[in-house]
Chains A and B, each alone.
Chain A
Amino acid sequence: MLIFTFRRLNLFIFTMLLLTLLSFSLSFLFPGDAIINISGAINATPSQLIEIQNAYKTDSNIFWQYIAYLSHIANGDLGLSMASQSKISTEVLNLLPATIELSLVALFIAMFIGIPLGFIAAIKHNKTADNVILSISMLGYSIPVFWLGLLAILTFSISLGWFPSAGQISLLFEIELVTGIQFIDILISDSPYKWQAFADASAHVILPASVIAVAPATIFIRLARTSMIEVLETSYIRAASAKGLTFQQIIFRHAIRNALIKIIRHVGLQFANLVTIAMVTEVIFSWPGIGRWLIESIYQRDYTAIQSGLLVLSCFIFVVHILTDFIYAALNPLARGNKYGS
């Protein structure tokens, strides 16, 4: 496990270096002056500009400029937003939790719907149920997400009126921002209308989260199906059925556990996909998350925000990736051992 941790840590540092290098080089690739792109100080007076140039070491060579940029990031300074002239790091800290909340809820919905359906498809392999589930999953990952979101708003918000169509919570509730994750904030707040606020926030999250969950759920169906089929063909399942265990016992005690481990490994990979879908969905549902902020900063040509947004979002995805790798390794001893040779 120690060597495994070390390898992951190594990969993590390497990736962080590459990602910062990418976002550093973006400031040169974007139109305009690199120093203004990187700091976001569009209204700086000449004396302030000289100060910023000293801070980012523009007169020394590119390597030291990069080091200066890294030290700025390490101090939590991502520059100013060109559009609003407020600090990007505080904006990101306010917005990122909303995205985390939305994508985690979506991930859980996708897993709770996708994985059991995949197992059913695998158990009924090559029968009608299998074909129906597979066709639905094919349709699910072919639907363009913005279209699905619009249809969902039209049916569930406008025609049926079941769920609100936009935002994170009704403006009537005053919830203090502590962690940024709405549900935790509501639970720790001492508002007398705590439970109404909680119900309102859940009603707001269901529709966007379900729209995001559709595509990952179909991928979980396929993953669960293939891994279950593989598990059911192994010799230990045959041994269990030779022992005389009933079908339920085999599935619940042996097959599901072994099949789940293989799926957990792919959760991290799917997460990148899910965040992309979440970005578009945030725009449609006016969810106050980082995806909508990023797309809006593209409309406003806010290069500093785009640059930092890319860095923050991809770091977030990568951290989730590494975390799932650790969970996988903790659950499956085989994953820790056989990496020695490679």
Chain B
Amino acid sequence: MARDKIYLEEVFPSPFMQLWQIFRKTPVAMVGFSCFIFLIILAVFGPILAPHSPIEGQLDMLLLPPAWHVDGNVSYLLGTDELGRDMLSRLMYGTSLTFGLSFIVVVISLVIGVVIGSLSALTSGIKSSFLNHFLDVILSIPSLLLAIIIVAILGPGISNTVWAVVMVLIPQFIHITRYAVKEESKKDYVLASKLDGANPFRILYYSIFPNIVDRIMSQATLAQSAAILDIATLGFLGLGAQIPLPEWGAILANGLDLFYIAPWTVYLPGLAILFAVVATNLVGEGIRHALKLRKER
């Protein structure tokens, strides 16, 4: 029998790997994680997989109910809207708009927020106190209100919505990074590498970041669920994605007049938003649960 390991070597997994090992043992979190992956795949390949065009309607197929209904048509699985556009295709295209864009939004604001947050953690005194108060003020304004104001400055439209939500999410990332970095730099292992003569950036990159990445991830899932809801709400209010775009909130607002005749045009996009947010929150809960378990070990 071949022995791969001749020497008994103890391997210490990185904090992130430790987290993953606990995470994948929680079934609920894994279900959420698979839904999350499914949504990402749908967001990337949705436009290729969609059976019909999301914008061009079939005029002889107006307001078709979903396929399980008596009047349904199986080639329009989830029915059509008042212009004969296939709901399933619209929802699939909508995945890349609502879910995919919210993912991009979170990544952009995470990078900016973490950079500013860790730089500000290195400063102290009046600059730091000013930033702290400034962040408090920004965080005290409701995120949606701030997003609405930014959209009012930039004008309605999906790309402006994205920038607005990015700007709204950045302060949260700054806050959490700053707090986490400050907390970690009081610990002994940071002191040890400081005594070794490492400069602040090296300490930040090699010592602190691997230990706070999980907390930032947990914040990222919170931010993602907020981003999905914000983009959808702005779309619903008519300030985000404009008319022909199949953004989930906009589809919902579009179906509003037909709510009583064709309830599926309102139920389905709402369920899609709910599904995306629940999947994201399950992943977030899983991460927080794993963080707690790791701390208790």
Report whether A11 and B133 are in contact in the complex, using a CB–CB cutoff of 8 Å.
Answer: yes
- Cβ of A194 under 8 Å from chain B: no
Provide the B126-152 mask, 1 if CB < 8 A to any CB of A, else 0: 000000011011011111110011011
Bound together, the chains give a CA A15 to CA B134 distance in angstroms of 8
Query: Do A158 and B260 contact each other (CB < 8 Å), given the known contacts A138-B285, A276-B143, A314-B145?
Result: yes
Interface of B is mostly: helix
Report whether B133 and A314 are in contact in the complex, using a CB–CB cutoff of 8 Å.
Answer: no
Which residues of chain B from 243 to 287 have a CB within 8 Å of any chain A CB? 249, 252, 256, 259-260, 263, 266, 270, 273-274, 277-278, 281-282, 285
Bound together, the chains give a CA A299 to CA B148 distance in angstroms of 11
- Pick from B142, B152, B278: contact of A273, CB under 8 Å: B142
Which residues of chain A from 130 to 173 have a CB within 8 Å of any chain B CB? 138-139, 141-147, 150-151, 154, 158
Could you tell me the distance in whole angstroms from the C-beta of B185 to the nearest C-beta in chain A?
17
Report whether B152 and A303 are in contact in the complex, using a CB–CB cutoff of 8 Å.
Answer: yes
The count of chain B contact residues (Cβ–Cβ below 8 Å) is 40
Could you tell me the distance in whole angstroms from the C-beta of B2 to the nearest C-beta in chain A?
45
Note all chain A residues with C-beta closer than 8 A to B141. Answer: 272, 310, 314, 317
Interface of A is mostly: helix
For B269, give the chain A residue with the smallest CB separation.
A147
Bound together, the chains give a CA A154 to CA B237 distance in angstroms of 19
Could you tell me the distance in whole angstroms from the C-beta of B150 to the nearest C-beta in chain A?
9
Report whether A142 and B278 are in contact in the complex, using a CB–CB cutoff of 8 Å.
Answer: yes
- Pick from A143, A154, A317: contact of B259, CB under 8 Å: A154
- Cβ of B239 under 8 Å from chain A: yes
Could you tell me the distance in whole angstroms from the C-beta of B257 to the nearest C-beta in chain A?
12
- Pick from A30, A141, A143, A150: contact of B153, CB under 8 Å: A30
Provide the A272-295 mask, 1 if CB < 8 A to any CB of B, else 0: 110110011001000000000011
Note all chain A residues with C-beta closer than 8 A to B225. Answer: 142
- Cβ of A212 under 8 Å from chain B: no
Could you tell me the distance in whole angstroms from the C-beta of A26 to the nearest C-beta in chain B?
7
Report whether A146 and B143 are in contact in the complex, using a CB–CB cutoff of 8 Å.
Answer: no
Which residues of chain A from 23 to 42 have a CB within 8 Å of any chain B CB? 26, 29-31
Note all chain A residues with C-beta closer than 8 A to B155. Answer: 31
- Pick from B239, B273, B278: contact of A147, CB under 8 Å: B273
- Pick from A138, A154, A306, A310: contact of B278, CB under 8 Å: A138
Note all chain B residues with C-beta closer than 8 A to A158. Answer: 260
- Cβ of A19 under 8 Å from chain B: yes
Could you tell me the distance in whole angstroms from the C-beta of B146 to the nearest C-beta in chain A?
8
Report whether A295 and B148 are in contact in the complex, using a CB–CB cutoff of 8 Å.
Answer: yes
Report whether A144 and B153 are in contact in the complex, using a CB–CB cutoff of 8 Å.
Answer: no
For A143, give the chain B residue with the smallest CB separation.
B274
Report whether A138 and B282 are in contact in the complex, using a CB–CB cutoff of 8 Å.
Answer: yes
Could you tell me the distance in whole angstroms from the C-beta of A166 to the nearest C-beta in chain B?
14
- Cβ of A18 under 8 Å from chain B: yes
For B266, give the chain A residue with the smallest CB separation.
A150
Report whether A317 and B270 are in contact in the complex, using a CB–CB cutoff of 8 Å.
Answer: no
- Cβ of A298 under 8 Å from chain B: yes
Could you tell me the distance in whole angstroms from the C-beta of B163 to the nearest C-beta in chain A?
13
Could you tell me the distance in whole angstroms from the C-beta of B289 to the nearest C-beta in chain A?
11
- Cβ of A247 under 8 Å from chain B: no
Note all chain B residues with C-beta closer than 8 A to A303. Answer: 152
Report whether A147 and B151 are in contact in the complex, using a CB–CB cutoff of 8 Å.
Answer: no
Report whether B142 and A275 are in contact in the complex, using a CB–CB cutoff of 8 Å.
Answer: yes
- Cβ of A6 under 8 Å from chain B: no
Note all chain B residues with C-beta closer than 8 A to A318. Answer: 140
- Cβ of B169 under 8 Å from chain A: no
What residues of chain B have their CB less than 8 Å away from a CB belonging to chain A? 133-134, 136-137, 139-145, 148-149, 151-153, 155, 225, 229, 232-233, 236-239, 249, 252, 256, 259-260, 263, 266, 270, 273-274, 277-278, 281-282, 285
What residues of chain A have their CB less than 8 Å away from a CB belonging to chain B? 11, 14-15, 18-19, 26, 29-31, 138-139, 141-147, 150-151, 154, 158, 272-273, 275-276, 279-280, 283, 294-295, 298-299, 303, 306, 310, 313-314, 317-318, 321
17 contacting pairs across A/B (C-beta < 8 A): A11-B136, A15-B137, A18-B137, A29-B153, A30-B153, A144-B273, A144-B274, A145-B233, A147-B270, A150-B256, A272-B140, A275-B142, A298-B151, A299-B238, A306-B149, A310-B145, A317-B142
Given A29-B153, A144-B229, A144-B273, 10 more pairs with CB closer than 8 A = A18-B133, A31-B155, A142-B281, A154-B259, A154-B263, A272-B141, A279-B144, A280-B237, A294-B145, A295-B237
